[in-house]
Amino acid sequence: MRGKIFGKPIITKEEMRKRIKILGQQITEDYADKDLLMVGVLKGAFAFFSDLTRAVRLPLHVDFLIVSRAKAKGRSPGRVKIISDIAKDLSGQDVLLVEDIVDSGETLTFLKKKMIERKPRSIKCCTLLDKPKGREVDVAIDYIGFSLPDQFVVGYGLDFEDKYRNLPYIAVLDKISERAKKP
């Protein structure tokens, strides 16, 4: 790795482990008599999703989808697009959509709308990180790991230029290249 460009953890591995255990207990209680399908939003949610599914003490189904945000002029990252969709039929399912981070709210709003069109019995959302100050679209989040100020963070699945996903904690970047500051 060339030069250190990330800072000290703002959320440690141990803090995440404890919070995920609590989230897993809440989800287990809430879905005790339901047929739970957990849908992970990749790539960012892979670490959180993996740990969270193991913390849920129920038989459950898992599936994944990959989304991207097309670059657009201005500050907003642009239109949300599904790159790889889930394989499971959602009709009659109790769906828990699992995100890494909710910032503007646009991606989660888009995904909820797409999932609702498939007629699940219920749909709820879970995110490891919530940045409410960055919210542009009001979206309900049923399970939140941590709320953060408006900072650019990496680690535990979150990336900068497709790096740092493997950090076992969440950190604020000490330096962000000019490319990251541009939309």
What is the set of active-site residues? 103
Could you tell me which residues are beta bridge partners of residue 42? 66
Task: Compute the distance between CA of residue 108 and CA of residue 95 in angstroms, rounded to an integer.
Answer: 14
The DSSP-derived string for 117-174 is TT--SEEEEEEEEE-GGG-SS----SEEEEE--S--EEBTTB-BTTB-TT-SSEEEES
Task: Compute the distance between CA of residue 90 and CA of residue 123 in angstroms, rounded to an integer.
Answer: 10
Task: Compute the distance between CA of residue 61 and CA of residue 154 in angstroms, rounded to an integer.
Answer: 28
Q: Which residue has the tokens 């790159």?
A: 83
Q: Are 99 and 43 in contact (CB under 8 A)?
A: no
Q: What is the DSSP letter of 85?
A: -
Q: Are 69 and 107 in contact (CB under 8 A)?
A: yes
